[in-house]
Amino acid sequence: MENKNGKPAWPVGRYLKYALGEIVLVVIGILIALQINNWNEKRKTDISIKNSLAALKSDLIQDTLLINERLPFINEQYALNESLRARVASTNATVDTLVKIMRFEFNPNWVVQIPYNTNTYNSLNQTGLVEHLSDSLKANIRNFYNIKTALMNRVEKTTTDYQGKVTSYVNNYTFGVTKIHDQGPLIDSLVWNNIDYRHLAATFQGISNFKRILFTETKQELEYSLENSKDLIEQIDNFLLQD
């Protein structure tokens, strides 16, 4: 078949094959471009995940250092409180024992909670990067911070209750166990003259009980965070070594 210029015309079938080939090439090109784009996006996501996990590991390491610094003091204060309670509970205890402890030895102060860094963990959740982790690592990270938060909230509530006991205590009595609370001999003697021993005993019982609870809960939170931080750091290292 020839066209009007006398040149051979392409058969329809051949033209369709050519057009189809062009379409196939375009589709293949688009698929390759999409695949490259997906690969680049995955690569960026993988880098973001690795950077985030490295930052999370750094946060956990810093937290363990703070915990190791705090735990000895918590244990010391708990043991001191228990020793004072044991002396008052002894069969040899007298009113003078109670007065001596409350006036000169008992320290009703408490410690503020460790300011843990949760920015990286919050970022993992907010950006959705946590969803790209393995199921086990994702679950372990979330469980760790959920339990840790619950323990800290419990400590915060007990601290508030304990502060109320301390406020009631200092409104009635003085104490000289710390330099910052040194009130001088005049005020000290006036406060402790003709005190109500029953009130003093009830005050000691209440405040030492709450201090026991507070330091027990604080110790539990610190020990949980310390032990599980180490486990989580190991899991993060294993995940990063997979690639």
Is 211 in contact with 161 (CB distance < 8 Å)?
A: no
Q: From its phi and psi, is residue 117 left (phi > 0), alpha (psi between -120 and 50) or beta?
A: beta
Alpha-carbon gap, residue 11 to 18, rounded angstroms: 11
Helix axis angle for 197-240 and 12-89, nearest 10°, is: 150
- Per the listing, tokens 């409104």 go with 171
- CA 241 to CA 108: how far, in whole Å? 49
Q: Which two tokens stand for residue 121?
A: 């963990």
CA dihedral 59, 61, 64, 70 (to 10 degrees): -70
What does the pLDDT read at residue 38?
Answer: 66
pLDDT score for 178 = 57
CA dist., res. 203 & res. 125, Å (int): 46
Mean pLDDT of all residues in 146-175: 92
Considering the chain, what percentage of its residues have pLDDT values greater than 90?
59
**What is the pLDDT averaged over residues 51-57?**
94
Residue-level length of the chain: 243
More confident residue, 223 or 44: 223
Confidence of residue 39 (pLDDT cuts 50, 70, 90): confident
What confidence score (pLDDT) does residue 2 get?
46
pTM of the model: 0.80
Task: Provide mean pLDDT across the span 118-146.
Answer: 93
The answer to whether 114 and 63 have CB atoms below 8 angstroms apart is: yes
Range in 89-103, 138-152, 165-179 with the lowest mean pLDDT: 165-179
Determine the average pLDDT of the residues in 219-232: 96
Please tell me the distance from the alpha carbon of residue 54 to that of residue 49, in angstroms, as a whole number. 8
Candidates 52, 179, 41; CA nearest to 109 is 179
pLDDT value at 26 more than 80? no
- State residue 52's pLDDT score: 93
The least confident of 37-51, 150-164, 199-213 is 37-51
- The pLDDT tens digits for 82-94 are 999 999 999 999 9
pLDDT in tens, 167-221: 888 888 887 655 656 667 788 788 888 899 999 999 999 999 999 999 999 999 9
Pick from 15-19, 37-41, 89-93, 230-234: least confident: 15-19
What is the C-alpha to C-alpha distance for residues 126 and 119, in angstroms, rounded to an integer?
10
The Cα 176–Cα 178 span in angstroms is 6
**Residue 2 phi, psi (nearest 5):** -120, 155
Percent of the chain with pLDDT over 70: 86
The pLDDT-based confidence of 8 (bands split at 50, 70, 90) is low
The CA–CA distances, whole Å, from 71 to 34, 85, 215, 226 equal 54, 21, 10, 10
**Does residue 101 contact residue 204 with C-beta atoms inside 8 Å?**
yes
Tokens matching residue 242: 């997979």
